[in-house]
Amino acid sequence: MEQNIENLLTCAISAAYDAGDAIMKIYSTADFGVEMKSDNSPLTLADIAAHNAICLQLEEQGIPMLSEEDEEIKFESRKDWSLMWIVDPLDGTKEFIKRNGEFTVNIALVKDGVPVFGVVFAPALDKLYYSVPGDGAYFLDTSIPGNKNAVKLPFMERPAKFTIVGSRSHSSPETEAYIEEMKAKHGEVDFAASGSSLKFCLVAEGKAHAYPRFAPTMEWDTAAGHAILLAAGGSIVVWPEKTDLLYNRKQLRNPSFLATI
């Protein structure tokens, strides 16, 4: 895999760009074709178009893929996948429908349950984040045509006030309790709301200290952002156990976790 990792990362970034293009074509229209899935979460034409765009590239690599928009793959079929893609073609569908721009394409390569690298692309915001095994995590402003000047993460000093980033669409009493605990520990605390996996990226950038997530997520919501935060020097632990968050589990719903740097 070491010999091929650069090619796999290049492929993943290219797939994320293609998915972003497919998403933005639909984002510019009046009809997103919104349907509700069995779990009562929304599905749009953009979710499907992005999934198809990613499949066109990643399937050529011969590595099995777990995607939110695939039919559920039983654990018995994937439990022996040592190397796999974990993909969310459109993370933050609710943010997409709200047209606030805070949605992403998430692509992660995972080996034996541990993220190898991650790609997070926010096409409406022209932001690309990716990690390079052994070399850190990077941010690229894609609003500049042909820009190749990626900036290593974190690229800014952390705020003087302890800053917590959280979901625009999901909260929980446990999250509120954590915020109160941090207020008692650090004094005044700032809270920044953000959608999709951009929350991991804000911590990796240096704009926030912690991202507590004590409400439900799935593996495809976190794997790519997890990889980027790890490469930037951060960590994600299951909460409150403080054990490593691993992937390709029998239960794809993540436990509560805390992301920090």
Tokens 């070491």: give the residue: 2
pLDDT at 157: 84
Closest CA to 129 of 57, 196, 83, 211: 196
CB atoms within 10 A of CB 71: 6
Closest CA to 78 of 219, 217, 197: 219
- Cα separation, 60 vs 66, in Å, equals 15
Q: Calculate the dihedral angle through the C-alpha atoms of 130, 131, 137, 143, rounding to the nearest 10 degrees.
A: -20
Tokens of residue 66, six digits:
């777990």
Q: Could you tell me the mean pLDDT of each successive run of 10 residues in the chain, 261 residues long?
A: 82 98 94 80 91 96 94 91 97 93 97 98 98 97 92 90 83 85 92 93 96 94 98 96 96 96 89
Using an 8 Å Cβ cutoff, are 88 and 67 in contact? Answer: yes
Strand order in the sheet with 162-167: 189-194, 162-167, 210-213, 257-260, 235-238
- Cα separation, 247 vs 16, in Å, equals 21
Q: Would you identify the CATH topology of the domain 5-153?
A: Fructose-1,6-Bisphosphatase; Chain A, domain 1 (3.30.540)
Packing angle, helices 5-27 and 45-58, rounded to 10: 160
Domain boundaries, the chain: 5-153, 162-260
Closest CA to 166 of 187, 189, 188, 185: 189
Q: Would you identify the CATH topology of the domain 162-260?
A: D-Maltodextrin-Binding Protein; domain 2 (3.40.190)
pLDDT at 146: 87
* Strands 257-260 vs 210-213: parallel, antiparallel or unpaired: antiparallel
Cis omega (within 30 of 0) for bond into 145: no
Using an 8 Å Cβ cutoff, are 194 and 120 in contact? Answer: no
pLDDT at 42: 84
Closest CA to 131 of 261, 5, 32: 5
Q: Hey, what amino acid is at 59?
A: E
- H or E element at residue 237: strand 235-238
* Strands 65-67 vs 83-91: parallel, antiparallel or unpaired: parallel
